Every structure is written in C-alpha cells, then in structure tokens.
C-alpha cells in the first residue's frame, strides 16, 4: 500500500517550486483577469493629487481601467526604446513583473538546492549530518533518570505555541517522551501557556503510543502553571529543589530565567540539555548545562531525529542556501570595499547593479 504522505511528497515538489517561483516573480502584480481593485501602478510612484486631498491612494476599478491604456502607452514607448518585444511587454504588464527576475533566480537556486538534496536523499545515497551532542544525549539523560529512579523535567520555554521555538521544542519533546516511554521513566512538563500544555499533551501521548506504551501515559504530568514569567520560574525552581529530577531539558524561547533554571538544575546534579535560538541566553546555557543546542541546531532537530530523507534533504538544501548567501555577503563586502578603496568605476557600477537590481 502507498504511504499517502510519501506519495504526496514525491509529486508535490515540482508544483510547489513552480508556485514559489510564480509568487516570487508575480508578487503584487495582478493578472489582467483579476477582479482585485488594487492598482497595477506602484503607489510610491503616484503623487497624491491636489484635487483629492485626504483620499486614499487606492483608485477605484473603473478609474483604474481608464488609466491603464494611458499608462501602458507610456510604458510601451519606454520599453520599445529599451528594445523589449511586445510579447515581453504584455507578459510584464499582465502576468509577471519581469523587473523581479533576479528574485526568481534566487528562489530557483534556493528551492532548487532543496529539491536537489531531497532527491539525492531519496535516491538512497547517504546525507551526512554532523552529530549534535545535545540530541545524542537524550538517551543518556533519560537513562540517568531511569537508573536513579527520578523524573525527567521538560520545560518548553515561556512563549506561546505561535513561537517557532516552542514548535521546535515539541519535536524534541516527542523524542524525549518516546525514550522515556521505552525506558519506563517519568516525564514532567510544566508549561507557562495553556495552548502549549494542550500541544505537549498531544505530543507526549503520541510518543507513548508510538513506543507501544499508551498505558504509561499520564496527562497529569503535563500541566499549566502560570503565564507570569517569574511566577513560572519560581514554581520550577521549587519543583527542581524538591523533586530533584535527574534530567532537565530546556527547549524553547527563554529570557532572564535561563540562568536561574540552569544553575538550579546544575546544583541538584541533573544532566541538563538546553536548546534555544535566543542569542543572549546561549552563553548561560552553554556554561551551566551539559549540552546545548545552538540556534539552527535546535531547528534542525526535527530532521536529525526523524532521519527521513525528505527532512534531511531539505535541511541540507537549506544549508546550501545559507552557504550561498554567506558567500555572496562576503563577496559583496569585498567588492564594496574595493570599489570605495580603489575608486574603480567598473567595480562601483557592478556594486550599483547588485544593490539596485539584484537586491531590490
């Protein structure tokens, strides 16, 4: 039997790419058949008229229709002067904004690398992902809790479920819960948002089910404490000192409470694994915890833990995209520096071209 998700994944890549390309190049430009009353001309180019002060810049549909031939005529003259064919003009006016062609290229490179690496991974060739110590340590931390007969404390940050870090945290929670189910350890998840509690319950329940231990799932161990930042932290500190969990996971968005939690965890001798994309909190976690997932590692957890070719390929593709961006940034800095240092007109033209055409 076909796996519907896999089947969909196989065929959905190409249309998705086309859609992305269309979105990138289409942007605010509307096709001729669109009934949207938005003007095709960019608002920034339109001066507000003296006859209608205070009126919104948005023109009504009939007015726009009337204005179109005139504007088109003006643009057509300009395009003819620049050597553009009529068909290109028509495409530019009615379907795509060809001035944004560079964006299309960038989108194609980025999406292309993702698609390429997904295909590469699907073909069965190995995709190397370096070991992430923090995720490798999950078994060790839960194992410690099991041997010591104590619980595992999981803190999914202090933000709500709309925060991307909280969502990433749920992926790690699934893995921690699954391991805990296999080892027969207790996982306690106090949350500071009610929606996070609901999501965490679903996540943990699914993990216990997939581990073949639905009977061991206890929803009372995943509970809401308070929305108040320091009320929540005070509760957690008290819990840690009283219960002395053997393993503490801090995964999500943290602010001032990061060091308070990590130091308390350290003092009770727990193995601590932290993961956050908050740059200001990372040094505290690194210093006080056993393992820390740093920024992107935290978001890569899903692909790393699942090991599925689609996710690994996507991760690799994104990394390639980042490498390209990084490379271009360095190139841009060098060119700009050289242009200003040498006063070379050629370099300056090139830099101007990049900033005014490619990057706009």
Partner 1 sequence: MKNLDPDKIKVILATDCGSTTTKAILIQKVGDSYRQTHRGEAPTTVEEPFADVTMGVINAVTEVGELAGRRFVDDDGKLIHPATETEGCDIYISTSSAGGGLQMMVAGVIKEMTAASAKRAALGAGAIVMDTIASNDKRKPHDQIQRIRELRPDMILISGGVDGGNTTQVVQIAELIAPAKPRPRFGGKYRLPIIFAGNKDAAPLVEKTFDEDVELSIVENLRPVLEYENLSPARDAIHDVFLEHVMAHAPGYDKLMTWTDAPIMPTPGAVGNILQTIANTQGINAVGVDIGGATTDVFSVFDKTFNRTVSANLGMSYSISNVCAEATMPKILRWVHFDMDERELRNRVKNKMIRPTTIPQTREALIFEQAVAREALRLAYQQHKEFATTLKGVQQQRTVGDTFSQQVGGQTIVDNMKLDLLVASGGVLSHAPRMNQTAMLLIDAFEPEGFTTLAKDSIFMMPHLGVLAEVHPKAATEVFEKDCLIYLGTCVAAKGTGKEGRPCFSYEIKGSSLNERGEMMYGDLKLFPLAQGETAMVIIDPAKGFDFGNGPGKRIERQVKGGTVGLVLDARGRPLALPEDRATGQATMKRWVEAMNMYPGESRK
Binding site for partner 1 (CB under 8 A): 131, 133-134, 136-137, 139-141, 143-144, 146-150, 182-184, 269-271, 282-283, 286-292, 294
Decide: residue 76, CB within 10 A, 0-12 exposed, 13-18 middle, 19+ buried. middle
CB of residue 230 to partner 1, shortest distance in Å: 25
* Cα distance between residue 303 and residue 318, in whole Å: 12
Which one, 234 or 294, has the nearer CB to partner 1?
Answer: 294
Question: Nearer to partner 1 by C-beta: 150 or 175?
Answer: 150
**Would you give the end-to-end CA distance of the chain in angstroms?**
48
How far apart CA 28 and CA 42 sit, in angstroms, is: 9
* Identity of the residue, 169 or 272, whose beta carbon is nearer to partner 1 in the bound complex: 272
C-beta of 147 vs 228, nearer to partner 1: 147
DSSP at 228: -
> From CA 193, how far away is CA 252, in angstroms rounded?
13
Q: How many helices (H) and strands (E) does the chain have?
A: 13, 6
Question: From edge to edge, which strands make up the β-sheet containing 222-224?
Answer: 222-224, 187-191, 152-155, 247-251, 271-276, 291-294
Q: How far is the CB of 136 from partner 1 (least distance, A)?
A: 5
| Nearer Cβ to partner 1 (293/339) | 293
Give the single-character DSSP code of 41.
S
Helix (H) / strand (E) element for 165: namely: helix 164-183
**223: which strand partners?**
190
Minimal distance, residue 211 CB to partner 1, in Å = 10
Backbone angles phi and psi of 191, in degrees to 5: -120, 160
CB of 132 to partner 1, least distance (A): 9
Task: Return the sign of the alpha-carbon dihedral for residues 260, 265, 266, 272.
Answer: negative
65 backbone dihedrals φ, ψ, rounded to 5°: -60, -40
Which CB, 180 or 339, lies closer to partner 1? 180
Q: How far is the CB of 174 from partner 1 (least distance, A)?
A: 18
Least distance from partner 1 to the Cβ atom of residue 318, Å: 20
CA-wise closest residue to 284 among 298, 270, 264, 269 = 264
Rank residues 167 and 216 by Cβ distance to partner 1 and give the closer one. 216
Query: What minimum distance in Å lies between the beta carbon of 268 and partner 1?
Result: 10
Rounded least distance, CB 250 to partner 1, Å: 14
Question: Any idea which residue has 């101007």 for tokens?
Answer: 352
| Closer of 270 and 303 to partner 1 (Cβ) | 270
Q: Angle at CA 208, nearest 5°, toward 204 and 199?
A: 15
CB of 144 to partner 1, least distance (A): 4
Nearer Cβ to partner 1 (150/193): 150
DSSP state of 225: -
């Amino acid at each position: 039997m076909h796996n519907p998700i896999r089947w969909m994944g196989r065929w959905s890549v190409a249309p998705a790419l086309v859609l992305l390309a269309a979105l990138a190049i289409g942007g605010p430009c509307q096709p001729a058949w669109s009934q949207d009353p938005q003007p095709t001309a960019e608002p920034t180019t339109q001066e507000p008229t003296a006859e209608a002060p205070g009126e919104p810049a948005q023109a009504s549909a009939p007015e726009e229709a009337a204005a179109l031939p005139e504007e088109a005529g003006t643009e057509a003259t300009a395009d003819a002067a620049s050597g553009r064919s009529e068909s290109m003009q028509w495409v530019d006016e009615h379907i795509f904004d060809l001035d944004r062609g560079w964006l299309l290229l960038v989108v194609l490179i980025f999406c292309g690398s993702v698609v390429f690496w997904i295909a590469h991974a699907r073909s069965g060739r190995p995709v190397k992902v370096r070991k992430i110590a923090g995720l490798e340590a999950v078994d060790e931390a839960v194992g410690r809790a099991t041997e010591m007969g104590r619980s595992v404390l999981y803190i999914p940050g202090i933000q709500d479920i709309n925060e991307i870090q909280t969502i990433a945290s749920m992926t790690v929670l699934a893995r921690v819960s699954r391991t805990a189910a296999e080892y027969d350890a207790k996982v306690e998840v106090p949350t500071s948002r009610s929606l996070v509690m609901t999501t965490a319950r679903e996540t943990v329940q699914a993990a216990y089910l997939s581990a073949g231990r639905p009977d061991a799932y206890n929803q009372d161990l995943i509970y809401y404490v308070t929305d108040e930042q320091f009320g929540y932290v005070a509760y957690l500190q008290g819990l840690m000192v009283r219960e002395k969990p053997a393993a503490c996971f801090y995964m999500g968005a943290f602010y001032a409470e990061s060091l308070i939690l990590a130091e308390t965890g350290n003092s009770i001798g727990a193995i601590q694994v932290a993961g956050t994309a908050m740059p200001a909190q990372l040094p505290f976690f690194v210093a006080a915890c056993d393992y820390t997932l740093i920024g992107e590692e935290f978001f890569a957890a899903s692909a790393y833990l699942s090991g599925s070719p689609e996710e690994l390929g996507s991760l690799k593709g994104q990394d390639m995209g980042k490498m390209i961006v990084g490379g271009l940034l360095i190139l841009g800095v060098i060119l700009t520096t050289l242009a200003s240092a040498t006063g070379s007109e050629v370099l300056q033209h090139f830099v101007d071209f990049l900033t005014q055409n490619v990057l706009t």
